[in-house]
Amino acid sequence: MKQVRSFAFMDRIRIVGGNKLNGIIPISGAKNAALPLMIASLLTDDTLTLDNVPHLADVEQLIRILGNHGVDYSVTGRRERQGDTYSRTIHFTARNIVDTTAPYELVSKMRASFWVIGPLLARCGKARVSLPGGCAIGTRPVDLFIDGLAALGARIEIEAGYVEATAPRGGLIGAAYTFPKVSVGATHVLLMAASLANGRTVLKNAAREPEVVNLADCLNAMGAKITGAGTSTVTIDGVTSLSGARHAVIPDRIETGTYAMAVAMTGGDVLLGGARSDLLENAFDVLRATGTEITQTNEGVRVRRNGAGVSPVDITTEPFPGFPTDLQAQFMGLMTMAKGRSHITETIFENRFMHVQELARLGAKISLSGQTAIVDGVEALKGAPVMATDLRASVSLVIAGLAAEGETVVNRVYHLDRGFERLEAKLSACGATVERISG
């Protein structure tokens, strides 16, 4: 099938800073919700229809991975919004699983693709999945996935870079499992695997993120019996089979928070169309403390900041409902021009400060002390060429560039294409001087 858009490896984004943002930015469906929902299609031979699917490089990559397993898909109901942004409905049908191996050349490009191990194991009784890749923001081991599936009776072996999992003859068996640390990905995988297990599974210290709730709601629509999603204890009563369903991807709370911080950085008045403040309460409380006005309306979330300076605020990243690690880099970009000193402590990933040296190229004053970045706000940033190092780091450079004097060029923006749908078009529509340079 012809794709709407390709994602170029060598593209750059050019920004001329200094413009306030005013207008409407439509918020896309959440990447972090869409990916596990797509993978859930492996659990049934009926069609799973997903609405509000974003057009992102990671989504396209996962479509290729699912196709390798025999999943057919079709895109319908494409609707144009704001002239350049698409909300898609995609139908996934995994009537025949033709291969239970997820090869290295596909899985190495995106960590979330490892999650196919759960539904493949539950439905087919076996799975052979390459150890994952993705952003270089720490080791992010798969131990929790393996231990959790082993608790459900799976036999797990790791050989030649592959995790080979086999279910007992009668299928996976419900069990009680306590996550030693909160893991969104492992919670996704065990929710899917336990849905087809024999008996009851109780997951304790489970992730509480809205994306987990979105997946559980979808699985229940497919016939699963899951209660407690959104709390730290989730109960799954296994069923013998799941059916098809139609389900909508929730609006992207990370995209919402990112654009809210862009408005806080530049000043202006923007409606984030379709956004939900209940998905991002902690981060919005932090933004209000910086001097930004945030209001939920019937159309979305309105973000405003007048010409007053940005107040410094200290944050510590935490699992939901705490401040999201996926907004840490963006908030650091905002704090580079705050009126004073702020402290940003990262507790989720051990290597997620790679954007610090690139922000310094723009004139930011940041020092590191263990897991904490100490940011002393400056009067002005100066445009410069910078290099994106991962998905969230790359957009922090865009936020800084929007306020920097002169021209900023962000290189390696393929990272951005993994998680932000038509970012340059959305910002340009609100008055920013932003353009993509191909090649």
Which residues are tagged catalytic?
A: 135
Q: Which two tokens stand for residue 80?
A: 């144009």
Please check whether residue 49 is in contact with residue 283, taking contact to mean a CB–CB distance below 8 angstroms. Answer: no
CB 139 within 8 A of CB 350: yes
Contact 374, 399 (CB under 8 A): no
Q: Which residues are part of a known binding site for phosphoenolpyruvate?
A: 31-32
Query: Nearest to residue 103, comparing CAs of 66, 73, 136, 138?
Result: 66
CA–CA dist 9, 286 (Å, integer): 35
N residues, the chain = 439
CA dist 317 to 160, 324, 326, 344, Å?
Answer: 35, 6, 9, 8
For the chain, give the secondary structure using H, E and C: CCCCCCCCCCCEEEEECCCCEEEEEECCECHHHHHHHHHHHHHCCCEEEEEEECCCHHHHHHHHHHHHHCCEEEEEEEEEECCCEEEEEEEEECCCCCCCEECHHHHCCCHHHHHHHHHHHHHHCEEEEECCCCCCCCCCCCHHHHHHHHHCCCEEEEECCEEEEECCCCCCECCEEECCCCCHHHHHHHHHHHHCCECEEEEECCCCCHHHHHHHHHHHHCCCEEECECECEEEEECCCCCCCEEEECCECHHHHHHHHHHHHHHCEEEEEECCCHHHCHHHHHHHHHCCCEEEECCCEEEEEECCCCECCCCEEECCCCCECHHHHHHHHHHHCCECCEEEEECCCCCCCCCCHHHHHHCCCEEEEECCEEEEECCCCCECCEEECCCHHHHHHHHHHHHHCECEEEEECCHHHHHHCCCHHHHHHCCCCEEEEECC
Cα 246–Cα 247–Cα 253 angle in degrees, nearest 5: 165
CB 71 within 8 A of CB 50: no
